[in-house]
A and B are shown apart, each in its own frame.
Chain A
Amino acid sequence: MTDAAAPAPITLPISRALNAGMRRAMEESDRVLLMGEDIGRLGGVFRVTEGLQADFGERRVIDTPLAESAIVGTAIGLAMGGFRPVCEIQFDGFVFPAFDQITAQLAKLTYRHEGALQLPVVIRIPYGGHIGAVEHHQESPETYFTHTPGLRVVSPSTANDAYWMMQQAIASPDPVIFLEPKSRYWVKGEVDVAAPALPLHASRIVRRGTDVTLVAHGAMVATALQAAALAESEGTSVEVIDLRSLSPVDYGPILDSVRRTGRMVYAQEAPGFVSLGSEISATVMERAFYSLEAPVLRVSGFNTPFPPAKLEGVYLPDADRILEAVDRALAY
């Protein structure tokens, strides 16, 4: 029996789920405001904020001048004044002008204030490849932010997570870097508007399997699922985990899975050297060493700048590259 009073799930593309999540947070508190370049009348270059300025006004959805450091830096001041700003950085590669304000200011101010100040600022960054864009429009900067204490970093891969994680990030008393896998903006999924399935910082098994644990985040979760389906046709059972929270990492489901499968592969778009995959693989080897039948393997973008778009298909791991690693893990 289902609860007749609960609203029925709806189907939305991820971009609209993010929009709906922000809308709900804005309806619940007039202290939530959005700020960024072109987010108002245009609705953002990806239209994620479409319609919100029309409904909430120019003071709640602010088209800012083009200055990333100022977007984040003034969001800090607005948070000091009791607002909950949600900043949009237009593209991943444009976040670097705001790097000091994010890593040296926003991340440290609660510590420097010895707890007297909370900074509930969300920074939305459309990130990652697969859209055939030009330079600075397809990057994966997550490691810079996960390396910085004081920041929380998350990335949803489904419409339901997009809807709920956005609201949870806005409600967080800490700054949250909210990485939106832009190649997935148009992928539809079911959104349960009644209640969140998971807390903001939980990882989740999205496909059960017994032979290899495959962990991924953001857009790579879909590629991982593709790889798992292909593996199944070849008789290999792959368990897929969506990290969801990049900092902190919820190790529980990952370690449990590795203890069952004995093998793990991490898949990411970002370059592999000193990356999320490196960190998680090191931790798994520290904590589940005697369960491992093979070293934890990483599949990643190459250690080069993100290439010209015509080469992104070579740079970005696909299901075949993931399966190659799965096979290597099984060969031990």
Chain B
Amino acid sequence: MTPSEDPALVRVLAADGSLAHTAAAEPYLPIIEALSDADLERFYRDMAVIRAFDQQATNLQRQGQLALWPPSFGQEAAQVGSARAARPQDHLFPSYREHVVARIRGVDMLDIIRVMRGLTHGGWNPFDPKNGNTHLYTLVLGAQTLHATGLAMSMAFDGRCGTGDPERDEAVIVYYGDGASSQGDVHEAMVFAASYRTPEVFFLQNNQWAISVPVSTQSRTPLYRRGEGIGIPSIQVDGNDVLASYAVSRVALDEARAGEGPRAIEAMTYRMGAHTTSDDPTKYRTAEEEQSWALRDPIERMRLFLRGRGASDAFFADVEAEGRALADDVRVRTVALETLQTAQIFDNVYASPHPLVDEERAWLARYEASFEEGAS
């Protein structure tokens, strides 16, 4: 299967790392040309380091240290480009494989590991400034698009966008996939976003497969056109091109923050690995297809581009070392993770006291204590 590319697709970086922009990319070129060498190297570093982490997490699952792992392998450019386009005051709502988005915003990767190890349903506090307004992973497909829209409504109602001060104006970016795009919640979120002109970007990573169901079954039209039907200006970008992903996200977020209403982006990418570690993609897709996408790998593309610009061996060696260090650190800290106290099961079910929860907490304490007494 090949992706359904629209003539309106924005791409600036060809698979061989050369700059070869599509016609639709023309308006975005000034943004890309303004990027410094440090910015470009930052993008590459983000992508390469998270891939090392992602591989380590997959290994940890294989070794029984995690219950499940949803790999981000192959989708790094879409995620890095969009997350780097966000400003510190923006809120980000991931679905469940936006590992590098979380990392860029400051979330400790171990907090994601904790979720997959069965130690928490959340693991980080989105409202703690160190986590960069990154909200929790959501496993029910598309549910978070409504939460993102509601938060964006609150920004619009409170006048926290469209003031003309880009340092202060806020926006929301919400991530979901081609599978989630079939969910009613996504459409309802878009309707509400359009109705209330929310400062919000819907960022769809079309990775071509909703577990085993291809996007061709999900949609007869390029998915970005659905946004247009609802009245949301929408665009399709090569999600394996970090520069294009950055530029379109930057423009969409700027427009949203400026009070121009919601925007939608469909990033054409590919899930190179399994849906999760429980999945077996060899049952539903061909080696030829995987190979064709491997040739469009987002990291290799950027590596060739940077090489062409004269990036040093030392830079690439340093990135590789950083990836290895993160992976090693995560492995060490994962196996050392604490276990939970049984009473934690009752914590935070409600924000205020609840007699049934209190009763059961007390019962469990007595029950556990009875074994201790018996042993003494």
Contacts and interface: CB of A to CB of B under 8 A. Distances in A.
Interface residues of A, number: 45
A105 B147 contact: yes
A288 interface: no
A98 to B, nearest CB: 10
B155 interface: yes
Interface string A45-76: 00000000000000100001101011011111
Contacts of A72: 146
A81 to B, nearest CB: 2
Interface residues of B, number: 40
Interface stretch (A2-10, A107-115, A207-215): A107-115
A80 B140 contact: no
A149 interface: yes
B188 A69 contact: yes
B150 A74 contact: yes
Contacts of A73: 143, 145-147, 149-150, 185, 188-189
Contacts of B351: 110, 115, 118-119, 173-174
A331 interface: no
Contact of A111 (B150, B151, B348, B355): B348
B173 interface: no
Interface stretch (B79-87, B117-125, B365-373): B117-125
Contact of A100 (B143, B145, B158, B348): B143
Interface in A64-96: 64-65, 67, 69-70, 72-83
User: Secondary structure of the B side of the interface?
Assistant: helix
A150 interface: yes
Given A105-B140, A114-B347, A78 B185 contact: no
Interface string A146-183: 00011010000000000000000000111000000000
Contact of A81 (B154, B188, B191): B154
Interface in B136-160: 136, 140, 143, 145-155, 157-158
A81 B192 contact: no
B146 A69 contact: yes
A70 B350 contact: no
B315 interface: no
A116 B192 CA distance: 26
Nearest to A77: B150
Given A81-B153, A105-B147, A110-B349, A100 B140 contact: yes
Interface of B: 120-122, 125-128, 136, 140, 143, 145-155, 157-158, 184-185, 188-189, 191-192, 195, 347-352, 354-357
Given A76-B150, A82-B158, 5 more contacts: A78-B151, A83-B157, A105-B140, A150-B350, A174-B350
State the 9 A-B residue pairs at the shortest beta-carbon distance, nearest first.
A77-B150, A81-B154, A73-B146, A74-B150, A70-B188, A173-B351, A77-B151, A115-B348, A116-B125
Interface of A: 33, 59, 64-65, 67, 69-70, 72-83, 97, 100-101, 104-105, 108, 110-119, 149-150, 152, 172-174, 247-250
